[in-house]
Structure formats: C-alpha cells, structure tokens
Amino acid sequence: MRVLVLNGVNMNMLGRRDPAVYGTTTIAELEGRIYEWGRALELSVNCRQTNDEGEYIKWIHDAMDNTDALIVNPGAWSHYAWSIHDALEMLPVPIIEVHLSNIEEREEWRRNSVIKDLVTQRFIGQGPDGYRLALEYLRENQ
C-alpha cells in the first residue's frame, strides 16, 4: 500500500513552536518515525511538508494516480481552506486526518475542520503517535 503523508503550514516549525502544545519533536524526527512505522507495517510511505497551499493542493492532485491512501495534517488550513477540501474530495482513496493537538479542545476557531466530512478516520490530540495510529488503521483496513 502506497501512503502519502502531507503536512501543512507551520509544521516545519515543530520542536520550536509552542512545545507545550505541539511537543519537542521536529518535522525531521517526526518524518523519521513515520518512515520507521511504515516499514514495520510493510507500507510504502512518502512524507511531504509545505507552507504553500497551492503546492499542497498539487500534491493532492498528483496523488490521484499513484497513492492508495492519504494521511493529512493541513495545520491551520484545516479550519478554513475549502480549496484543500475540494481537492481531497476528488480522491477515491482513504483519507486520514491527523492533528498533534486536540483541536476540539482548543480555541473555538480551531474546532472546525473543513475536511472532517471527507475523512475515513481522525486521530487528534495523540501527538506524533497519531501518525502511527493512522498507519496502523490503514494497514488493518486495506
């Protein structure tokens, strides 16, 4: 199973951005763990991160032809980027939404996810382990 992991805006600042909320794991460390978990589960994983919404959408479009599942953490785009919703809506593969923090217990504006109605499963507030749980979910349900 080919799994694309897309991390969005400000995720490159992990480890430096509000460690009390997001932890001390950097994006490089997170991606390293995701690759390890993927190998252990015999999944082919590709991780990407961008602060450019257009690039994020292009990666979603590209996934239509070469990906069996998507794990997405759009970051703040989750709360307002209908363009990402519309791009994801076209995919005929499982989509898992992950957030390091529990967005449903944070500021009111963060509680809304414009992609919530499209996803197969959500893992929120689990820190980096949310990605492991997402990969295990995909492995168990392929």
| Nearest by Cα to 101 from 46, 44, 19, 41 | 19
Q: Give me the helix-helix angle, 53-63 and 82-89, nearest 10°.
A: 10
Contact 104, 111 (CB under 8 A): yes
Q: Which residues are catalytic?
A: 22, 99
Tokens 């919703």, residue?
A: 85
Torsion angles phi and psi, residue 98, rounded to 5? -125, 140
